[in-house]
Amino acid sequence: MSRGLGLARRRLRTLASIVCALGLGLLHPFAGAVEVRFEKVTDGVYVHIGDLGGRTKDNEALNANIGMVLTPAGALLIDSGASYLSARDIEHAAHRVSNLPIRWVINTGGQDHRWLGNGYFQSRGAELIAHASAVPDMRARAGDQLQALQGLLGPRFEGTQPVYPDRLLNTDDARLDLGGLRVELRHRGGGHTPGDLMVWLPERDVVFTGDIVYTDRLLAVLPVSRTRPWLEAFGVVEAINPRWLIPGHGRPSDLTTARRHTRDYLQSLRMHMKRAVDDMQEIGAAIRSFDPKPFLHLHNAAELHPGNASRVYLDVERE
């Protein structure tokens, strides 16, 4: 009798645990899928490191790095996330580090995870900043980005609307004073996307490169990418030679790693495809004759390289 009573009690405790988990949302398909967490880089500078893989339901399409910089007058955010709700999660994570309001958001390019959280931060009073070249790209690709992420995220994409930056830079180099902090912005005609912008903080010796630099994973060449200005922009990173380099994807790194994972791949691919175009070699043969082995250790290399090679050939052919 006592044995049966004990078994019944254990079953009740198990059921209570399940009900509690449901009440707390622990068994929701999205609960705990991605945790936004800012890690300290140096005094007043933090980064959330995104997944190295592609956009997925589990990571809520937030597979890029997001930066945060504290100033005496408020926080500066480097990119706003892929949706309204992920932007809210970013703000909550920021407030676990500091109670300062997020007053400025810099969009470092036109990829969805760089700017589709803008609407949330605008509603919170933040100023949205980008290079002027980013906006036409955002407008041109917004429909496709919204459709793709709606299909991927479903209810977690609710509330997301395209909201474009309202403070636009029209020069290659700009210097801003944000809350008493000197912020220098660098644009070299694009790269991964037309509006690619690098954020250099000389007082902290940190550069946020956006998608000019990838580490740990293979970079992605898009139909809108232009590889010549991309390498020119990388040259700006080399000239800065920062103590801390925060790539658009991958762990915070140094210039040596950035050269091996980004510059060397782009240079090799461009040189190979330039020879192929000059020799009037057809695109398929040019792709097959390039040896990607030195870069296949990078995440996503097997999936991304064939498309990259094709687009670099077409990019060089247009020049």
- What is the pLDDT tens value at each position of the chain, 319 positions in all? 344 434 344 443 433 333 333 333 333 333 345 799 999 999 999 999 999 998 999 999 999 999 999 999 999 999 999 999 999 999 999 999 999 999 999 999 999 999 999 999 999 999 999 999 999 999 999 999 999 999 999 999 999 999 999 999 999 999 999 999 999 999 999 999 999 999 999 999 999 999 999 999 999 999 999 999 999 999 999 999 999 999 999 999 999 999 999 999 999 999 999 999 999 999 999 999 999 999 999 999 999 999 999 999 999 999 9
The two structure tokens encoding residue 256: 């040596």
Interatomic CA distance for residues 83 and 66, integer angstroms? 13
Fold classification of 32-318 is: Metallo-beta-lactamase; Chain A (3.60.15)
This prediction's pTM: 0.88
What count of other Cβ atoms lies within 10 Å of the Cβ of residue 80? 30
Between the alpha carbon of residue 294 and those of residues 212, 255, 270, 283, the distances in Å are 20, 18, 15, 21
How is the chain split into domains, by residue range?
1-31, 32-318
